[in-house]
Structure 1
């Protein structure tokens, strides 16, 4: 038998135009704070290790208590790895103006958001070295001695740990920042990457870069790190800073455009 009751009326227009519930992403403030704190951690860990622990002197047995180049390299790698896992899910985990612009060149990040990221990164690095100076001020003469030694700034010539010239610094910053960006693009690729191990791969790559290049120019590959140290490094460090602002960015952007052309092209 047919049911004589009328069918209930359904407002199909309302159903059509009511958007489904979707999870909301982090706010713009949260994203910028993540970049600030991630860069803060990177600079505090890496530059702090270079200034406090790299050359700590010798013990009673005559053995060195400092961590040396290897320890500083590991400190930078561990710091960026920790920052990537802690803050990467919020902001993408750049912590480096060169990485931000390189990702934009590769089509992985909006150009319009780059300035905010870079400002947050620069501030995070500057606050980190300020905290290092504050800690150091608790020991008489430490800050002055650290400034006389360049405050772990990047440099060439007399400011290079190994006495390498400006050409070596330029090539190092171009080449190794480009390679760093290529690794980042590969391990974070939306279809071919492995997000679970991305932070580990990025951290180990940064460690390797420092192991190779600390003797050349004290390793930048990150303008935020370079600016943060040069603020306290004195006039000579500030005078050479331009190399470590310009060439990491150029290297990263070249790598970004190249990766997009070589590996992200559509199959015909």
Structure 2
């Protein structure tokens, strides 16, 4: 259970840092939120990477399966752990946020992902799907490339964290950036309503992007070895 516990903890850290920055860090803006998500990945990668690989994301784990680097049974255990960690992270942020007198989850949200009228840049469903698929594909490709045996040792955490920060800089105004079904599930469960209705996008699109990245890696397109 060491790997699963590490995944719970790591995904908790990701959601607590990233969603916490969006909800509690009122004056830090999109750049600050982006860096919070990126820093959380760096912290988890160096903190628990040696235990579980620090996937923290069902799309990453499924990408690893598609790449031939993870067994299906282990992937399922990872995904369950990641969702638990994300829910706990969202719960912690929610409990802290409700300590502020004028906070309301209905009015202020909980860093949930979304699209369309009333959400950030009000981008369409098609735009949201394209962004999440492409961004997750890029993210998982970087993870696969930076963690393979021929990659420079010790730099994977930085590469992955900076990539996630960059993705957020591009996409916060589009969907709030998921690229991670667990990260989306946690806040949506507490917000309900539209967040739950739109949740399928942030489950399906990242999984598609992650699996495509893994499949291409397995085909040799993203591999540096002969």
| TM-score, shorter chain, exceeding 0.5 | yes
- 1:42-53 equivalences under 5 Å are 42-53=14-25
1:226 partnered with 2:226: no
Deviation at 1:195, TM superposition (A): 3.2
* 3-state SS of 1:153 partner: coil
| Other-structure match for 2:84 | 123
**Of the two structures, which has the highest relative contact order with CA contacts closer than 8 Å and spacing of 6 or more?**
2
Q: 1:151 aligns with which of 93, 103, 110?
A: 110
CA RMSD of aligned residues (A): 1.4
CA distance in 1, matches of 2:22, 2:113: 12
Partner SS for 1:195 = coil
Indicate yes or no: 2:137 matched with 1:178: yes
Aligned twin of 1:251: 209
Q: Structure 1 residue 194: deviation in Å?
A: 2.0
Q: Which ranges of 4 or more aligned residues in structure 1 deviate by more than 6 Å? A: none
Give distance in 1, aligned partners of 2:109 and 2:185.
Answer: 12
Offset from partner CA, 1:141-191 (integer Å, 9 cap, x none): 32x2x332332111111253111010110001100000101101111011x
Residue deviations 1:216-238, cap 9 Å, x none?
01000000100011112221110
Give unpaired runs (5+ residues) of structure 2: none
Is residue 201 from structure 1 mapped to residue 173 from structure 2 by the alignment? Answer: no
* TM-score, reference length from structure 1: 0.81
Rg: which structure is higher? 1
Determine helix, strand or coil for the equivalent of 2:117: helix
Unaligned runs of 5+ in 1: 1-28, 56-65
Q: Distance in 2 between matches of 1:265 and 1:78?
A: 27
Displacement after TM superposition at 1:193 (Å): 1.1
* Deviating more after overlay: 149-158 vs 163-172: 149-158
Q: Deviations over 1:179-220 (max 9, x none)?
A: 101101111011x21230100000000000000000001000
Out of 22, 28, 33, the residue aligned to residue 72 of structure 1 is: 33
Assess, with a 3 A threshold, how the Cα gap between structure 1 residues 34 and 41 changes in structure 2: closer, same or farther: same
- Please state whether the residue corresponding to 2:155 is helix, strand or coil: helix
Alignment of 1:255-266 (within 5 A): 255-261=213-219, 262-264=221-223
Contact 1:150-1:234 at 8 Å conserved across structures = no
Q: Aligned to 1:196, what secondary structure does the other structure show?
A: coil
8 Å Cα contact 2:181/2:206 also seen in 1 = yes
SS at match of 1:189: coil
2:106, 2:42 → 1: CA distance? 28
Instruction: With the length of structure 2 as denominator, give the TM-score of the two structures.
Output: 0.96
What is the aligned residue count? 225
Give, in whole Å, the separation in 2 of the partners of 1:196 and 1:160: 38
Cα distance in 1 between the residues matched to 2:38 and 2:224:
31
